Each structure stands twice: as structure tokens, then as C-alpha cells.
Structure 1
Amino acid sequence: MVKPEQPIKFYQHPISGHCHRVELLLSMLDLPYEPILVNLPKGEHKQPEFLALNPYGQVPVIDDAGFVQVDSNAILVYLASRYDDGTWLPRDPKGAAQVQHWLSLAAGPLAYGPSMARKMVLFNEDVDLTPAKMEAERLLTFMEAELHSRAFLTGETANIADLAMYSYVAQAPEGNISLEPYEAIRAWLQRVEQLPGFVAMPINAVGLRAD
């Protein structure tokens, strides 16, 4: 398996599930990387130095020997394509399409459901949680049905689809979304957590909001 010539620079913040999904793959592929904290509360992601890396002012970003990639799902695709043999990103048309389906769900219903609800609660936003909770319920109900028939999201082995979905589903209770009704999802979370190289998000994410 190919390895980077030098550690991959990984611009991140621990409170971000988008960053965590990238950290999971970096760890599971055993790739050397240098975590670089971007202080979101201080607005470092909106400063010229960071905007030169990502004009959208969002983490995560990686710099792999001068190749800069933004967007967590795109980073997963890059790392799996560059440094893996097809385990984490299937090369066959059916397998690749199934993974893409889940990446789209991660960018849509997951972002506007569990992730949005968590953000609103963690940052004490005075907004109605109902739309995010309804989106989360639709997504989790769909996932629950899918996971009754297989161990991971696309089959019997994990790939980047599972990593893209894991972080914000696991942290859904931080957005006042209970996982108690979803037995298959809770079992899937445990299977992901048992994968070699798994790293957990900080337990007290709320504490990471302040300096």
C-alpha cells in the first residue's frame, strides 16, 4: 500500500463531525498526518491565511505534499483512492454507486438533520429544532431498515460510506435526538467502533466551543 512521502497536513477542529470522519480514515489507513487546529471560535477559518486554502472558510482541509483538498466527503474519496486497494472505496460500478448514495445522504439529510440539530443545541441557537428533528427521524428510520439486513451500510464490510455517516449519527443525542428506538443503528455504531484504528470524538464536545 502506498504511503505519503511526508505527513498529511490536516486542518481541523475537534467539535466537527466532518473533521472526525476524515480523522477516522486517516487513522484506519494508518497514514501519517499532522493535525492543525483551526480555532473556529476565534474565527481563524475566516482569516486570509485559511481562506487561501479553502475560500469557503470551512474545515476540514488536507494538504498532501502540496495537493490541497477541501470538503470532507471529497477528502474521503481522495484518501481511499490514493492510499487504499479498494477496500474503503469499491472500484466496481455497483459498489461505487452504493457508496456515492450514502455520501449524498451525508451531505444532505445527515447535514440538515442530526448535524444541524446538534449544532443548534451546542451553540444555544434560539431556533425551532422541529425541521432538523423531522429530517433526522426520516434518515434514521431509513438507516434502521437498511441495517437490519447487513452489518454495514453497503454490505458486510465497512467502507467510507460508514465513516461519512458515523460521526453525526453517533453524536445525535447531543442534538436531543435519541437513538434508543434504533437497535440496528446502535449495533452498527458498535461495529464501527470496533474497527482497527477507530478514534472517538471528544466526549464533552460542548467544552470545545470556548477557548
Structure 2
Amino acid sequence: MRIHRFPLSGHCHRVELFSNLAGINYELVEVDLAAGAHKAPEFLALNPAGKVPVIEDGDTTLADSCAILVYLARKYAPDWLPSDPVGQAEVQKFLSMASGELANGPGAARLITVFGAPLDAERAFTVAKYVFELLEAHLEGREWLVGDRATIADIAIYSYTAHAPEGNVSLEAYPNIRALLGRIEALPGFVPMQATKVGLAA
């Protein structure tokens, strides 16, 4: 399997992280966003939206990090996705959060700080506070987001949560979230995302 990625993208990292945790053999293909490689015809043939990540797995080409997590879990690591309807729905709730509030809150704050993105910083901080308060409350008395073991829900929220401080969003007020991040980082096969500031895990 090939993962087309940009190393500072949390969307890409969650796919790489899950592939590693699930023991899936993969090859990383770097996409130079600064050079516009994601808009080149050969990349647009893989994903007309011109975004990373994209995976190529045999005859299957798939974009969107959360969709990729579902695909990889169903095909290679079913223990990471509950089989019951309620469990699957709970996982989907956090996949939606990862693509919505998490991306528009701490993810957007990081884009502003790290890449100079012309986004609304005040809104990003407000959304970050909202989503982290939700997660913190949900995790009270729990080890994992869904059920009694790690699922793709935990992986989906990991990257942009762990790297929220790069966007000047502190995790100090959220001990349950920090404990969850620690449990994910202790899983066999964990690989970190490349950091962009001194003082964060490389």
C-alpha cells in the first residue's frame, strides 16, 4: 500500500499512525505541497480534490483520512472498529468531530501559527475550547473514546489534539485528554507526527 502524504499534515499522520499500529505494510510517498505537487495532473488523477492523504491499495485508490481509516480497519484490522451498530455509530461521531470541530478549532489554529493561513484565529480558539471541553467531559471515567479498547476514533482525534500547542492551544486544562494521548503513544507501533516547534515531540 502507498500513502501519499505531507509530513506536517495531521490528516496524513492519522493514516500513517493507524497503518503502523495495525501492522499494515506501506510505502510513504511525499507530496510537495509548497511546489504544488497536489495540483499536478498525476496527483489529481488520484484525487480530483487535490488533497492529501491518498492511499493506493491494489486496485483501490481512496482519499479522505477518516474514510481511509474505516477502509483500513474493515479490511485489515477489524478489532479497531466495533461490529455492533451502536459502537459503529459512536465511532462515526468522533470521525465527524475529527473532520469538523477538531479541524476547524485546534487544526485551524495550528494552520495559522505554523503555515500563516489567513483564517480567523479567534474563531479557531473558540472552537478548540468547545471541542476539548466536550472530549474532556466524555473521557471522564473512560480510558478510550468508544468501548474498552482503542478504536479508529482515538486515532482520528490524536494528531491535531496532540499538536494543538503548535497552534498556541494549551492542553493544560484537560488531564483526561492528555491521559488519552499518553495511552495512544504507549501503543505498540506508535509513530509520532513531525513537530514544527522546539519543545514538542519530534
Q: Normalized against structure 1, the TM-score is what?
A: 0.91
Deviation at 1:203, TM superposition (A): 2.6
1:162 aligns with 2:164: no
- 1:52-92: CA deviations, max 9, x gaps? 000000000000012101100000000000012x3111111
1:103 to 91, 95, 98: 95
| In structure 2, distance between residues paired with 1:59 and 1:132 | 22
**Between Structure 1 and Structure 2, how many residues are aligned?**
198
| In structure 2, distance between residues paired with 1:145 and 1:95 | 19
2:12 to 19, 26, 38: 19
| In structure 1, distance between residues paired with 2:156 and 2:118 | 28
Structure 1 residue identity aligned to 2:94: W
| In structure 2, distance between residues paired with 1:119 and 1:35 | 23
1:54 aligns with 2:52: no
SS of equivalent residue, structure 1 residue 179: coil
- 1:185-208: CA deviations, max 9, x gaps? 1111100000111000113369xx
CA RMSD of aligned residues (A): 1.2
Map 1:16-95 → 2, pairs under 5 A: 16-84=9-77, 86-95=78-87
Contact 1:38/1:44 (<8 A) preserved: yes
Map 1:156-195 → 2, pairs under 5 A: 156-195=148-187
Contact 1:28/1:198 (<8 A) preserved: yes
1:9 aligns with 2:8: no
Higher mean C-alpha deviation, range 126-135 or range 96-105:
126-135
Partner of 1:4: none
Residues 56, 198 of structure 1: CA spacing in aligned structure 2 closer, same or farther, 3 A cutoff? Answer: same
Stretches of structure 1 that go unaligned for 5 or more consecutive residues are 1-7, 207-211
Contact 2:166/2:196 (<8 A) preserved: no
SS of equivalent residue, structure 1 residue 87: helix
Partner of 1:3: none
Runs (4 or more) in structure 1 with deviation over 6 Å come to none
| In structure 2, distance between residues paired with 1:31 and 1:144 | 31
Structure 1 residue identity aligned to 2:97: L
- 1:120-142: CA deviations, max 9, x gaps? 11112455410010000000001
SS of equivalent residue, structure 1 residue 35: strand
Q: Percent of aligned positions with the same letter in both sequences?
A: 51
Contact 1:15/1:205 (<8 A) preserved: no
- 1:131-183: CA deviations, max 9, x gaps? 01000000000100011120011132100000000000000001110000111
